[in-house]
A and B are shown apart, each in its own frame.
Chain A
Amino acid sequence: MTPMLTSARKTELIGFVIVAAVILLLLPAVTDAFRLNLVGKYLTYAFVAVGLVLCWGSAGILSLGQGIFFGLGGYCMAMFLKLEASTPEATSIQSTPGIPDFMDWNQITALPWFWEPFHSFGFTLVAVVVVPAILAFIIGFAMFTRRVGGVYFAIITQAIAAILTILIIGQQGYTGGVNGITDLRTLLGWDIRTDSAKTILYFVNAFLLLAVIALSMAVRSSKLGRILVALRDKEDRVRFSGYDVAAFKIFVFCFAAAISGIGGAMFTLQVGFMSPSFVGIVPSIEMVIFCAVGGRHSLIGAVYGTLLVNWAKTSFSESFPELWLFAMGALFIAVVMAFPNGLAGLYTSHVQPLFKRFGRKSAGRSAASGTETPAIAE
């Protein structure tokens, strides 16, 4: 048992170092500022995919509503940036200067109470993580303590995503409606639209993502992580062993929501606006696809999956503007039919054996091979 874990951890650590090198060194070296900003945007979705690996891959909770949390994090950041952009001087042509432009268009004359705290940057940073986590807690508490799970839970998360979209679109005076919150310019006086700012934000985003992955690895390798796997495979047995299953599920769901929120906030900063098109059912399912393409059991795979799908989406649609959706469809079918465990599964089933064959040959020469080989075979 112990040697197997060590070996798996070793693989995971090597994978982590490689993904860090790809994100921090390789991509910035080979892409121009425009493409790097695009990659930065893709990597914000990777936060959601990493959360899904924990939630779905480890604990078996399939949420089809992760866009909710991504969106909430993004909206929190967007509200702060919008307030900063809506100074009375900048909005002097409005009937009520000093409030965001879309409120003015909707005949709102005073800033709504829930916008007030977003004048504070500190509050916003906390809200980016806490607001999604609180909503996840409410959903999780209501569902998991009643032992709602599996398909039913997935459907309910979808319904909540739909409800939230309708709410945001319907309350356009307070939320910007379909247009979303647009025209965000500065962060604490720092112009976030310049190329240099985008590059800095890319690296901030990359470090945050790596930190989140490291944290997720720690969670997975801890006792907590093993309980999550156990309750995925045999929930009743875990419950009969005296564990409070609901508490563990709520925790992992909230954790995934919180990191999705961080992704959303980084998205807003890099793209310069937030709109309800990230909150609904379609983006939520897309995020599950990123995770599935990468392999739902692999944190590192989630990053590659997100990058691959989004890169394919962008380059297909640039090359074949009329046909790209078919190409995307074909890619997804291929993934599900040919390698259901995603890129990570492809790696374990095809690439790793090559290493192993190579490893075994060299191990045969050394005396220490005895402890290692059976463990890998297991």
Chain B
Amino acid sequence: MKTNDKGAAPRSMLRRKLMIGSAALALSLAMAPRPGLAQSPPTSEVNTTGLAVTDDTVTVGILHSITGTMAISETGSVQAEKLAIEQINEMGGVLGRKIEYIQEDGASDWPTFAEKAKKLLVQDKVAAVFGCWTSASRKAVLPVFEQYNGMLYYPTFYEGLEESPNVIYTGQEATQQIIAGLNWVAEEKGAETFYLLGSDYIWPRTSNKIARKHIEDKLGLKVVGEEYYPLGHTQFNSVINKIKLRKPDVIYAIVVGGSNVAFYKQLKAAGIDMTQEKPIVMTISVTEDEIRGIGGENIEGAYATMKYFQSLENENNQEFVSAFKAMWGEDMVIGDVTQAAYLGPWLWKAAVEKAGSFDIDKVREASPGIELTTAPEGYVRIHENHHLWSKTRVGHAKADGQYEVVYETTDLMEPDPFPEGYQ
């Protein structure tokens, strides 16, 4: 609550939080061409709107929950973003400037996210923000980013129905994630009846709406039940009984957070053996991170559809996984969102370099068409609508907590946040 003469306060804050350059990692520097010692363009040219850019640094923000109920999910994203920033710095930074970051805690509380987002944009003048996880937190910060013209890189797979000029969505929107999986289970497994299930909020509801439309209208198959339970719900016995009664071919589960643990344990205890695939359990909400809580033995045999699994066998991913483990510990697991969060700083770097400027408007203009061939998931490209073109994969859960990739779309799935015919 003291006066902040511009410049002085952010710098002192930076010094305090600057943790970059601590561990020199043996990273593959082949991920992108090295700018080397090329002279960096003058600050007055690359920063015309007063962002926190100096002759040798550029400041960005990291805004996730590191306390509260969402901390367990968001920690992976924070780690991935820090890894990406460190790798970029090792390669010489962005336009010859090292990235420094200011980290703020959203504390699993949506108004706090809005407050911190505003602080990052107004007071710290960050050039980009990597952050948010839940839709609610994104909805809370969105007006702030639009009003103060910031750039948010949002990593989570989400329900779609949004297309902000101030957000790059690095996770998949619902149709990308859902449709390929449903097609696969119908074709490969001959599934005909589906039971839809989810936690009660916007993402599971919208996703199931899309799933139902696709199952009934496009595939001509049948939905035999649809139910929702409050977040944090732990008693799934009644729905499990209904499932046993209606005998669906597929249980399509979009249960999130702590409820997952109860749901899969109770499913197993009720005698539904997922490895027998009668019924098949298919989810879009359980990444490797969640399996740590659920226990691999409790979910073995289930299928998940996402764009990334830790077990993906390609060179980019092997390098990413080993760098991640080197920085954060051997026992770390990497889920879909963590990988999407890792893409954020890289996509931003590519856009800044293409624009030749840190100015938000120029970065926004440069963003569509940006491609990353070095992404752990393979290849991604930014669509006109600020979402990513990406492949969708089906993973088969193993007892060790990893997924085995059993299917991958041949083409990139086009992001379609406002899908026609699914409303």
Q: Tell yes or no: A35 within 8 A of B by CB.
A: yes
Give the complex CA separation of A37 and B205 in angstroms: 35
Q: Are A106 and B205 in contact (CB under 8 A)?
A: yes
Q: Tell yes or no: B110 within 8 A of A by CB.
A: yes
Give the complex CA separation of A177 and B135 in angstroms: 11
Q: Could you give, for residues 122-136 of chain B, a 1 whenever the CB lies within 8 Å of some chain A CB and a 0 otherwise?
A: 110000000000111
How many pairs, one residue from A and one from B, have CB atoms within 8 Å of each other in the complex?
116
Q: Are A318 and B104 in contact (CB under 8 A)?
A: yes
- Mark the stretch among A52-60, A139-147, A321-329 that contacts chain B: A321-329
Q: Could you give, for residues 6-18 of chain B, a 1 whenever the CB lies within 8 Å of some chain A CB and a 0 otherwise?
A: 0000000100100
Which residues of the other chain, B, contact A38 by a CB distance below 8 angstroms? 115
Give the complex CA separation of A31 and B111 in angstroms: 21
Q: Tell yes or no: B201 within 8 A of A by CB.
A: yes
Quick one: which of A31, A179, A324 contacts B135, CB cutoff 8 A? Answer: A179
Q: Are A178 and B140 in contact (CB under 8 A)?
A: no
- The total of chain A residues at the interface (CB under 8 A) is 47
Q: Are A169 and B201 in contact (CB under 8 A)?
A: yes
Q: Are B202 and A178 in contact (CB under 8 A)?
A: yes
Q: Are A107 and B3 in contact (CB under 8 A)?
A: no
B binding-site residues for A, Cβ under 8 Å:
1-4, 13, 16, 66-67, 103-105, 107, 109-112, 114-116, 118-119, 122-123, 134-136, 139-140, 142-143, 147, 159, 161, 200-202, 205-206, 209, 230-231, 418, 423
A binding-site residues for B, Cβ under 8 Å:
27, 30-35, 37-39, 41, 93, 95, 101-102, 105-107, 166, 169-170, 172, 177-180, 182-185, 193, 271-273, 275, 277-278, 311, 314-315, 317-319, 321-322, 324-325
Q: Are B114 and A271 in contact (CB under 8 A)?
A: yes
Interface of A is mostly: helix
Q: Are A169 and B200 in contact (CB under 8 A)?
A: yes
A241 smallest CB distance to B (angstroms): 46
Q: Are B200 and A107 in contact (CB under 8 A)?
A: no
Give the complex CA separation of A325 and B114 in angstroms: 19
Which residues of the other chain, B, contact A105 by a CB distance below 8 angstroms? 159, 161, 202, 205-206
B148 smallest CB distance to A (angstroms): 9
Residue of B nearest to A165 (CB): B230
Q: Are B104 and A32 in contact (CB under 8 A)?
A: no
Which residues of the other chain, A, contact B201 by a CB distance below 8 angstroms? 169, 172, 177-179
Which residues of the other chain, A, contact B202 by a CB distance below 8 angstroms? 102, 105-106, 172, 177-179
Quick one: which of A34, A273, A275, A278 contacts B143, CB cutoff 8 A? Answer: A273
Which residues of the other chain, A, contact B135 by a CB distance below 8 angstroms? 179
Q: Given A31-B3, A34-B123, A35-B1, A277 and B206 touching (CB < 8 A)?
A: no
B27 smallest CB distance to A (angstroms): 25
Q: Are B4 and A32 in contact (CB under 8 A)?
A: yes
Q: Are B67 and A273 in contact (CB under 8 A)?
A: no
Q: Are A193 and B123 in contact (CB under 8 A)?
A: no
Closest A-B pairs by Cβ, 4 of them: A321-B105, A179-B136, A34-B122, A182-B139
Residue of A nearest to B163 (CB): A93
Q: Give me 20 other A-B pairs in contact (C-beta within 8 A), A172-B202, A184-B143, A321-B66 excluded.
A: A33-B122, A34-B118, A34-B122, A106-B202, A107-B209, A169-B200, A169-B201, A178-B231, A180-B110, A183-B139, A183-B143, A271-B114, A273-B140, A275-B110, A275-B136, A314-B115, A317-B104, A317-B105, A317-B107, A321-B103
Residue of A nearest to B121 (CB): A34
Q: Are A322 and B105 in contact (CB under 8 A)?
A: yes
Quick one: which of A33, A272, A314 contacts B114, CB cutoff 8 A? Answer: A272
